[in-house]
Structure 1
Amino acid sequence: MRKLIYIINLDIKKTVFSIVFLIYSISAYSQGTWDINYISIKALNASFIGKEIRIDFKASNNDTLSGEIKTLGIRRLLSKKDSVSLNVNNKSVEFIEHWKLHVDHGVLADQYLESVTNEVKEKIFIKEMFLESINDDSLIVQAMVCMSNSKSEVKERIVISKSVIKGLLVSKAN
Structure 2
Amino acid sequence: MAQSSNFSNINTRLPSPLFSSARRTLPCPLPFVSSFLNYRALPLTVPQSFVLRQVANSRSYGAVGPIRATAGSSGSQIKESIETEINENPVVVYSKTWCPYCQQAKGLFEDLGVKPYVVELDELGAAERHVQNALEGLTGQSTVPNVFIGGKHIGGCSDTMELHQNGELIPLLSAAGVKVE
* TM-score bracket for the superposition, by shorter chain length: under 0.3
Quick check: which one's helix share is greater? 2
Structure with higher RCO (Cα < 8 A, 6+ apart): 1
TM-score by length of 2: 0.24
TM-score by length of 1: 0.24
Max Rg structure: 1
Quick check: which one's strand share is greater? 1
